[in-house]
Chain A
Amino acid sequence: MTPTYYLLLSALLFSIGAVGVLVRRNAIVVFMCIELMLNAVNLSLVTFARINGSLDGQVMAFFVMVVAAAEVVVGLAIIMSIFRTRRSSSVDDANLLKY
């Protein structure tokens, strides 16, 4: 297996995540798609570390994981708070601010 396949897989996962963010309607699912994008980046970083023969990419993947965990905390807190007032986590229902 050449490392290039992993890069293609990572690009594919990133695209699936990006499309998911754009088409899904549930805030939690949108958020999961964003996490998928971040993890696709992790795969790229590790693959590039392998190609470049340095460890930096693997260390960066750890940084990304920690940041993603922090983002989950904040994101779920915000989604929870809007769910409590609206009883809905659909991003289509939150439509008071427009134009």
Chain B
Amino acid sequence: MISSVLAQVPVAPISAPAVDYAAVMPLLVVLGGACVSVLLEAFLPRHQRWPAQVALSVLVIAVAGVSLGIYAGDAPAAGVTTLSDALAIDVPTLFLWGTLLLLGLGSLLLIADRSVEPGGAFIASAEERAAVGATVGSAGTSEPGDEPEHVDRSYGAPGDAPTMQTEVFPFALFALGGMMGFVAANDLLTMFVALEVLSLPLYLMCGLARRRRLLSQEAAVKYFLLGAFASAFFLYGLALLYGYAGSVRLTDIANAAAGSLKSDALLFGGLALLIVGLMFKGSVGPFHTWTPDVYQGAPTPVTAFMAACTKVAAFGAILRVLHVAFGSTHWEWRGIMWAVAIASMFIGAILGLTQTDVKRMVAYSSIAHAGFLLLGAMAITREGVSGTLFYLLAYGFTTLAVFGVISLVRDSDGEATHLSQWAGLAKRSPILAGVMTFLLLALAGIPLTSGFTAKFAVFSAALQDGMAPLVVIALVASAVTAFFYLRVVVLMYFSETPADGPTVTVPGAFTTVAITLGVILTLLLGIVPTLALNWAGAGVLAG
């Protein structure tokens, strides 16, 4: 069979595709830095790894940011495609890359912090815990909080300050590189490979928590099994679209959709499967089931990374697929997407009301936000693209800072995430309660915060593209979500402090920088959003 296929294809000399190195430099720097980071992990002695890895990660992101800035200064407004059209580097890509790099920097600072959790929040191996695990297994009912303090023999004597598991840095850099490739991917195969490059490190990062290991490992297993399941759907969608269009390049799919004799079942079946895989990553609506569990179980800095950066990457890809490949057929699929957006907003808003854990509550809020984002992604207009991009930027920084704050409220066995433990927190730490209130108001979309500007941009784009009923539904849902944010605010300010309540850790420099970055950008994007909005609207998706 292969020989007969080969016989059909005229044999032409294969020439290497041209590479626009200036355009892809940020991506190359991040992936190259990740490889160097692996080498550091292999060759440096253990006590030197943490400073070296932190310095390398920050340096990599800075260099990538500078090369991005230099290229964006005189980038063509229409964008370029390079590597034989595998990557499209246009204004939305550059905007998302900038967003990802900044959010990645903030998350890396949270990950690198060793002052909040002595020795950092990460530990890798379960070997030393086998004895403890055996008792847990036989008793079967043990709570994860009951575990004795972990003594890691290979990382120094119990009395010493424990060192941190530094494998998390190469993971984070690879995940960041995968996300950058994901938002730039101009064909579905590149998108699939980038999807796996971003997902596989994230699965592992979820299972690295030093405390509450059972929760953390359970989160990793759930995320992995469901994530692999979703990427199988993505892949089957890819195969069907390849069958339909004879190519997996997004523009070729758009051209084939404009005039092809083949059955539309392949096209729309392919789109449905593909978009299920993408919406899983973006934790949209009915495909959200992993989100609360994984957000709760993963170490909080990793949750911050996932919540902020994965959302940006997934919606960047959804935007590109819907606009470039399926923009011309949007009347056919928009009805279904309406249903998905409504489901997502209401699942997030209503189930969020019933949560008693702060991290789970933010997870449901992220599901509701995914529904709002979908409104912008469905509007096949320039405003739809720029509104969604701005929303991602605003939401990412707010969420990053929220998880930074959550990691500071602690009691004797780690983070105190139960809502009842947050009662009366304002009396104990007015600054932390004030910052959290501001961030929650931003998530709710109150004016003078970035959340308001972002919602306004997305909703007005949806309105202009004829989705008025959906915008009304979104406004109702966002009013419902405001209720559970305000519930936390009321709890912090107007409740009695429990006697054995948690303490608020004084953050180290890294966490302070990360939270400050998030808060300042949330404020600036609310007051002077013009600069970011203009950049987001400066160009269209290249194809």
Contacts and interface: CB of A to CB of B under 8 A. Distances in A.
A87 B228 CA distance: 23
A75 B214 CA distance: 17
B200 interface: yes
Contacts of B292: 97
B243 A97 contact: no
Interface string A56-78: 11101001100100110011011
Question: How many of chain A's residues touch chain B, expressed as a range?
Answer: 35 or more
Chain A contact residues, majority secondary structure: helix
Interface in B226-279: 228-229, 232, 235-236, 238-240, 242-243, 246-248
Given A14-B236, A34-B232, A86-B133, A63 B218 contact: no
Contacts of B248: 56, 60
B217 A78 contact: yes
B204 A77 contact: yes
B281 interface: no
Interface in B194-233: 196, 200, 203-204, 207, 213-215, 217-222, 224-225, 228-229, 232
Contacts of B543: none
B25 interface: no
Given A44-B240, A60-B248, A53 B9 contact: yes
B41 interface: no
A10 B5 CA distance: 20
B137 interface: yes
A58 B220 CA distance: 32
A16 interface: no
Contact of B193 (A30, A67, A95): A67
B161 interface: no
Interface in A69-99: 70-71, 74-75, 77-79, 81-82, 84-88, 91, 94-99
A81 B5 contact: no
Contacts of A38: 232, 235
Contacts of A84: 126-127, 129-130, 133
A96 B217 CA distance: 11
With a 10 A CB-CB cut-off, give which of A55, A79, A86 has the most chain B CB atoms.
Answer: A86
B229 A44 contact: no
Contacts of A52: 242-243, 246
B221 A85 contact: no
B456 to A, nearest CB: 34
16 contacts: A14-B236, A27-B225, A37-B236, A41-B238, A44-B240, A45-B242, A64-B235, A67-B192, A70-B196, A71-B200, A78-B207, A82-B207, A84-B129, A91-B221, A96-B218, A97-B297
Interface of B: 1-2, 5-6, 8-9, 126-127, 129-130, 132-134, 136-138, 144, 189, 192-193, 196, 200, 203-204, 207, 213-215, 217-222, 224-225, 228-229, 232, 235-236, 238-240, 242-243, 246-248, 292-293, 296-297, 354
Closest 7 CB pairs of A and B: A87-B137, A85-B133, A37-B232, A48-B243, A44-B239, A97-B293, A94-B218
